[in-house]
A and B are shown apart, each in its own frame.
Chain A
Amino acid sequence: MSAGTERGRFADVSIQEVIGWLLLAVVGLLVLDLVRQVLVGELPLGRLWAFTWNGIVDSLYIGLAAIGLSMTYSILRFANFSHGDLITTGAFTGWTAAYLVGGIGIAELSSRLLLRADGGAQPGAVGMDVVSAPIAIVLGLIVAAALTILVALAIDRLVYRKLRDASGITLLIASVGVALALRYIIALFYTTDTRGVVASSPQWETPAFVPIETINLHEATLVISALSLIVGVHLLLQYTKLGKSMRAMSDNKDLALITGIPTERVIFATWVIGAGLAGVAGYLIVLDRGQVTINLGWFLLLLIFAAVILGGIGSIYGALAGSLVIGLTINLSLVWIPSDLNEIAAFTLMIVVLIFRPDGLFKGVETA
């Protein structure tokens, strides 16, 4: 009996905690090794900083998308495999708007409307950077959010609303269908070609007192936009009635129904926020990378899932923390492993967490 109890304690708590401690220990060792490498001079500080900075940038756009995925997962109760293609939708619609406005009088309408599907309207010639065409770029950002929201709401009305009572797996399968249909409808218009749509980023020579010599303005735009949106979502969730309802519903849908929170309104808000952020993420990724392709979101989807899972499904702050972990993992892991293995590191981390700590890495920490 005592054996049984002991076993009980071991099985209930320890497996999870052991994996938690193990992960922590691995991270600790890696940090120590990092310090050693820097001290010995194997790893120049500049490179370490570059890896960290790239990790933060990656984690910001992953985080924007992860918020939406986490919200739909907890409120609509399914793993939305079409979330990646909402990112793609944002990238294409937003940049089309930017080209339409920014390229007036410079490029053919057909090239602008189809985002250079015909090879015309060179980004450099159109002046697609934040300094030459700030208004077009900002307008593109807004359109990316707005149109992605519209697309998501239309999909919800056509598909997901009819499946509100269906099982999570039925919705998951339907979302795979949505992902395919949406991506290739985009491809039908824009073609499947990968192409550059952003001019090379202007650099800002910093004043002498700043330790970094130049700042990549496109990256800076990404960071500032993403951080403001994250703060905005935080304020919305903490201080508005709608935000509180959403948190209540992500905790317990039945309870929310009983206590009279208007679920359809909350679902509407979920799509608006989730899809809006996904669209913006897609737009900003293109701003940073310079290229657009129809597989943009689909290829990111699993990384976003990893972030959501690491943070614990349903927790928006967890999703952001998970994004930081994923962003840093795929970049800092380059210190030890070649760059074509870094996603493997991220996915392995995701699987380990899903199996051994299904409530996320930060379980036990109070989250919203």
Chain B
Amino acid sequence: MSERDSRLPEPVSNAHDRLKALPQWQYDLLLIVGVVLATYGGFAVLGLLGGVGINSIVGFFRTVTFYAAVYALVVLALNLHWGYTGLFNIGVAGFMAVGVYTMAFLTAAPDATPAGLGLPIPIGIVGGMIAAGLVGLVAALPALRVRADYFAIVTLGLSEIIRLALLSGSLRSIEVGDTVYGTGGGSGIQYPPVDTIIPWLLERPVIGELGELLFEVGAAVGIQRSVILGGLYTAVLIAFVGLFYLFLSRIANSPYGRVLKAIREDELAAKSLGKNTDRAKIVAFVVGCSLMGLAGMLWMGSRSFVSPDSFMPIITFYIFVALIVGGAGSNTGSVIGGFAFAAFLWEGPRFVRSILNANLNLRSPPTIYDAFVELGSGDLTPLVGYLVGSLDELRFVLVGVVLILLMLWRPEGLLGHRKEIAAATDLSRRPSTPDRVAASDGGEPDE
């Protein structure tokens, strides 16, 4: 390194070399932080130039960070299914629903309608994870035998069955003794929001003192208490992203992860080497479903009720877009994909709208016909106004087009092909063993 340092003419490649020389996890962390900072920087410059107030820019960042974290959680879980094992699960929304509804049932107040068991939130979360995993197990046992595209339809069917069952009037209220339990049908279940765990935590000894300190600092800078509480919940989410990442990276870099990867590449070949692929697939599927359940519960964390509308199949496809953007098969890619989806495809268009609204005196004509009529008379702004007014529709078109373009040009994801190596030890170079020379010209296969 010191030799290269003296070679001044090539500082760029030098920096790059140094980055490359970092341990993989540091490099990945830097990559994620770099992408996030660059994106926020870009948006900030764009927003300031575009005349968006500093407060709305900060608000935008908060929203993006929240969504980036929750998307990253589900995308990481899906990456275990699709990226690693090649299981094309398009029933993600259903598994999330099982997790959230189970938690709602466990934690809702016993005197509410529909009633719950009134258990503490952490128990609810564990229960939700177990339930999502169990549903995954029941689905996996028969479904893992079918072809990839059939598996897709089976999982989508299952997630719709779950949603329709939650929606149906038959399970809306079930009387047990004097208490009325049930799913609440279309109006859902009321339950204590997960983020109430933050104030609860702040009442504990050490955390509480740290929290007070934070509030004092905040007050000095002029940030409200509620804003800090919201930020703390996002911080908890980011911590969970870290945990998911750590857990899944450990799986990825292990003999077990190698078996999963081999299943994705060629299941029969893996079987022919003696690997019990059925068991490996079931374990991966159940663990992934359980993580999806957990991600769902954290996602709905600041809501106080859950209804079936939150689990339309389209949610699953958002997750897929995010995973494919980042590059299936890579945990780092999953996190970046979740972030990119939240920042550019989900919240980005709204940001553009606020810039346009700040600069142009836009009004939205009632229909696109009127917009075209006015375009005919030489006025472009009504059409722009209409399009800005139809931002939600445009956003879906954008998501669809991105998906198509990715399949056409970069099916391996925007980050390029990251074939992360699955081993618990470094395979990139052989440890220099003294008898290496002797072994290489020898030809003794086994001692």
Contacts and interface: CB of A to CB of B under 8 A. Distances in A.
The answer to A–B direct touch (Cβ < 8 A) is yes
Interface of A: 78-79, 109-110, 113-114, 117-118, 159, 162-163, 166, 168-174, 176-185, 187-189, 191-192, 302, 305-306, 309, 337-338, 340-341, 343-344, 347-348, 350-351, 354-356, 358
Given A173-B320, A355-B145, 8 more contacts: A176-B317, A177-B401, A177-B402, A184-B397, A187-B396, A344-B161, A347-B160, A355-B143
A174 B408 contact: yes
Interface in B222-249: none
B146 A173 contact: no
Q: Which 3 A-B pairs have the closest CB atoms?
A: A177-B403, A181-B400, A180-B400
Given A340-B167, A340-B170, A118 B366 contact: yes
Given A173-B407, A178-B404, A340-B169, A183 B160 contact: no
Contacts of A185: 397
Nearest to A184: B396
Interface in B376-391: 387, 390
Contact of A354 (B153, B317, B320): B153
A176 B403 contact: yes
A109 B402 CA distance: 34
Contacts of A176: 317, 320, 400, 403
Given A113-B369, A169-B148, A184-B396, A162 B408 contact: yes
In this complex, the member of A180, A192, A341, A356 whose beta carbon has the largest number of chain B beta carbons within 10 angstroms is A180
A168 B369 CA distance: 39
Nearest to B148: A169
B368 interface: yes
Contacts of B399: 177, 180
In this complex, the member of A176, A187, A338 whose beta carbon has the largest number of chain B beta carbons within 10 angstroms is A176
Interface residues of B, number: 48
A170 B407 contact: yes
A200 B324 CA distance: 47
B402 A355 contact: no
Given A182-B400, A348-B161, A172 B152 contact: yes
Contacts of B142: 355-356
A145 B151 CA distance: 32
B369 A114 contact: yes
Contacts of B167: 340
Given A173-B403, A176-B317, A184-B394, A309 B153 contact: yes
Contact of A180 (B147, B149, B368, B403): B403
B72 interface: no
10 contacts: A79-B149, A110-B373, A118-B369, A172-B149, A181-B401, A341-B165, A341-B168, A343-B164, A348-B161, A354-B157
B226 to A, nearest CB: 34
A338 B168 CA distance: 9
B158 A180 contact: no
Contact of B153 (A79, A118, A188, A341): A79
A181 to B, nearest CB: 3
A169 B148 CA distance: 8
A305 B164 contact: no
Contacts of B148: 168-169
Contacts of B320: 173, 176
A57 B156 CA distance: 26
Contact of A117 (B367, B373, B396): B367
B10 interface: no
Contacts of A168: 148-149
A355 B158 CA distance: 12
Contacts of B88: 169, 172
A110 B403 contact: no
B421 interface: no
Contacts of A78: 149
B370 interface: yes
Nearest to B407: A174
Contacts of A305: 153
A81 to B, nearest CB: 9
A170 B170 contact: no
Nearest to B409: A162
Contacts of A173: 320, 324, 403, 407
B165 A344 contact: yes
A187 B393 contact: yes
A184 B411 contact: no
A355 B146 contact: yes
A358 B153 CA distance: 12
Nearest to A340: B168
Nearest to A73: B149
